[in-house]
Structure 1
Amino acid sequence: MLNIQKYAAIDIGSNAVRLLISNIVEEKDKSTRFKKSSLVRVPIRLGADVFVNEAISKKNTKRILDTMLAFKLLMKSHGVVKYKACATSAMREANNGKKVVKKILKETGLHIDIIEGEEEAAIIAATDLHSYIDANKTYLYVDVGGGSTEFSVIHNAEKTASKSFKIGTVRLLNDMVKKEAWKELEDWIKLETIKYDKIEVIGSGGNINKIFKVSGKSIGKPLSYFYLTSYYNMLQTYSYDERISVLDLNQDRADVIIPATRIYLSAMKWSGAKDIYVPKIGLADGIIKSMYNNTVSSHTKLK
């Protein structure tokens, strides 16, 4: 007997807003499968407003309202039975973040939860990481966002440490990350990884996914520290316009990819990792899995 339901996750980040619709496939005597049905990404850079002016602008408030309305219609068309929308760094730091969330609820009927960095890291860690990792190895999981980056240490398939740092691509582009923040991150990574003989990094986020795709590597194969360093150096030889025209990067990717790569390289350097694995999972995947396991609240009504 086959039972298929559709769940949806909305990730309102500092660089983009994403809607992930997944099929939850339940079959007798088999493990539940989570199959991506649709993924929509809209590059609303909320962090550019918030990290500079401490508030979401009227223009971006209108854009996110339109996006949420579109997402609602898409969810209804797909027959979604359960959804959860999470807003991260930019929304939680905006002076008018809660006001915008209330406005979205009033005009679209969609509930949005503004989550803290630690909860974000916990939801990300709830993804199907076990299917990508070796239970006998130790990993540093790094999820780079626009406003913050979430780090988790995984040893023998168990999370031993987790922390969120306000170091993200949009913040770095706006020169809003002080040396002290980098030092705090360096100290944390060294403290949490020095006890292990060998560490490998798992990277998630749109930028590392793009780099992995460009590399031509087979799924499951890692990128080396040497390759990532070479790619990072190559990116900096091109102007922003050239990264779009010559390297064929989207305009909202062409600027953030450099600071993102810097974060991954820093994590590898301070942990002593020689390789980074890219399983293409993130917050939206974690939301879907957490809803299924009833470890987070969710909503069922799409009015």
Structure 2
Amino acid sequence: MKVRKFAAIDIGSNAIRLLTHNVIEDKGKKTQFRKSALVRVPVRLGEDSFTVGEISEVNEKRLIKTMKAFKHLMEVVGVEKYRACATSAMREANNGNEIIEKIAQESGIQIDLIDGKQEAAIIASTDLKNLITDDQSFLYIDVGGGSTEFTLFSQGKIQVSKSFKLGTVRLLNNMVKPETWNKLEDWIKLILKDKPKLSIIGSGGNINKLHKLSGRKEGEPLSYIWLNAQYQFLDSLSYHDRISELGLNPDRADVIIPATKIFLSAAKWSGAKKIHVPKIGLSDGIIKDLYNSENK
């Protein structure tokens, strides 16, 4: 048996994450991927990028320090391979490429800027196939700070995917026009025509937190009715109360409201009654993609 360590760095609009996996290779058995550690740093790049068009000097310094720390952590735990990906906040920042070059020089970490389609393809490398069945359609929704990726799985395969500039940080800063919501509604209804048997698969830190708040067991889906009631409850609380009474982190207590609204809207327009929460996302997909590319 051989145990290897792979890692993924996800530079998002709301936070930066380092995920490490133990990859267990045992002759004659299926390779196992087990999460060993997750480090999340709440550097909200989207508030800079989406409002003023560039990453501020303060957040640039925080980002570079985070990357240096991640590099040291990966060396300490013996990470063999890793990949770092940045999404909408870095893509849309005028100084995004400049900062990526600085990070490479100061930390040695090379960052790939990926778009929505690439993100959807990476996520498809995860264990979603264990949840997706041939006799049902699934709308996979990955809610981020800057954008939300939607992927339709039908007959066990990806049929279509699309990215909308509808993220939690954008919504908090009132940067989403009604037309964006209208376009999303039209798109969902169009692709799901003649697909009455549909469930949603939710991804991202907010839906994971909602599942934890629900008290449901791992693998047990959320219902549309519960999610709607929870949205009303969370929205009735102040930001302070969400932190003090519910124990939410300060950088989660605000974005959880718009995230829930996105999931609720998609469920309403698609007619989905259940939201599965497998707790996998871009970071998991990066690690699987790294491993699969090596073993093609």
Q: Which residue number corresponds to residue 129 of structure 2? A: 130
Structure 1 window deviating more from structure 2 (127-136 vs 187-196): it is 127-136
Q: Which residue number corresponds to residue 91 of structure 2? A: 92
Q: CA deviation at 1:108?
A: 0.6
Q: CA deviation at 1:156?
A: 2.1
Residue 257 of structure 2 is aligned to residue 258 of structure 1: yes
Secondary structure of 2:174 counterpart: coil
Residue 22 of structure 2 is aligned to residue 18 of structure 1: no
Query: Which consecutive unaligned segments of at least 5 residues does structure 2 have?
Result: none
After superposition, the CA RMSD in angstroms is: 1.1
Q: Deviations over 1:89-120 (max 9, x none)?
A: 00000000000000000101110011111111
Counterparts of 2:115 and 2:209 in 1: how far apart (Å)?
Answer: 27
Counterparts of 1:4 and 1:237 in 2: how far apart (Å)?
Answer: 48
Q: Which residue number corresponds to residue 247 of structure 1? A: 246
| Matches for 1:143-182 after TM superposition, within 5 Å | 143-182=142-181
Paired residues of 1:194 and 1:271 also in contact (CA < 8 A): no
Secondary structure of 2:250 counterpart: coil
Percentage of identical aligned residues: 60
Q: Deviations over 1:229-271 (max 9, x none)?
A: 0000001111111111111111000000000000000110111
Q: Which residue number corresponds to residue 197 of structure 1? A: 196
What amino acid is the match of 1:36? K
Counterparts of 2:268 and 2:287 in 1: how far apart (Å)?
Answer: 32
Q: Which residue number corresponds to residue 291 of structure 1? A: 290
- The alignment's TM-score, normalised by the length of structure 1, stands at 0.96
Paired residues of 1:143 and 1:151 also in contact (CA < 8 A): yes
What amino acid is the match of 1:14? S
Structure 1 window deviating more from structure 2 (171-180 vs 120-129): it is 120-129
Secondary structure of 2:110 counterpart: coil
Counterparts of 1:194 and 1:272 in 2: how far apart (Å)?
Answer: 11
- Number of residues of Structure 1 aligned to a counterpart in Structure 2: 295
Q: CA deviation at 1:121?
A: 1.3
- The alignment's TM-score, normalised by the length of structure 2, stands at 0.98
Secondary structure of 1:202 counterpart: strand
Query: Which consecutive unaligned segments of at least 5 residues does structure 1 have?
Result: 296-303
Counterparts of 1:178 and 1:126 in 2: how far apart (Å)?
Answer: 32
| Matches for 1:98-137 after TM superposition, within 5 Å | 98-137=97-136
Paired residues of 1:143 and 1:149 also in contact (CA < 8 A): yes
Counterparts of 2:266 and 2:125 in 1: how far apart (Å)?
Answer: 21
Q: CA deviation at 1:84?
A: 0.2
What amino acid is the match of 1:50? S
What amino acid is the match of 2:114? I
Q: Which residue number corresponds to residue 275 of structure 2? A: 276
Q: Which residue number corresponds to residue 188 of structure 1? A: 187
Secondary structure of 1:220 counterpart: coil
Q: Deviations over 1:114-153 (max 9, x none)?
A: 1111111111122110122333221000000000000101
What amino acid is the match of 2:271? G
Q: Deviations over 1:47-79 (max 9, x none)?
A: 000100000000000000010000000000111
Secondary structure of 1:242 counterpart: helix
Structure 1 window deviating more from structure 2 (123-132 vs 69-78): it is 123-132
Paired residues of 1:132 and 1:220 also in contact (CA < 8 A): no
Paired residues of 1:207 and 1:257 also in contact (CA < 8 A): yes
What amino acid is the match of 1:32? T
Counterparts of 2:226 and 2:176 in 1: how far apart (Å)?
Answer: 26
Structure 1 residue ranges (4+ consecutive) displaced by more than 3 angstroms after TM superposition: none
Paired residues of 1:86 and 1:113 also in contact (CA < 8 A): yes
Counterparts of 1:177 and 1:121 in 2: how far apart (Å)?
Answer: 22
Counterparts of 2:283 and 2:23 in 1: how far apart (Å)?
Answer: 14
Q: Which residue number corresponds to residue 140 of structure 1? A: 139
Counterparts of 1:126 and 1:166 in 2: how far apart (Å)?
Answer: 23
Q: CA deviation at 1:197?
A: 2.1
Q: Which residue number corresponds to residue 75 of structure 2? A: 76
Q: CA deviation at 1:195?
A: 2.1
What amino acid is the match of 1:281? I
Counterparts of 1:195 and 1:147 in 2: how far apart (Å)?
Answer: 31
Q: Which residue number corresponds to residue 301 of structure 1? A: none
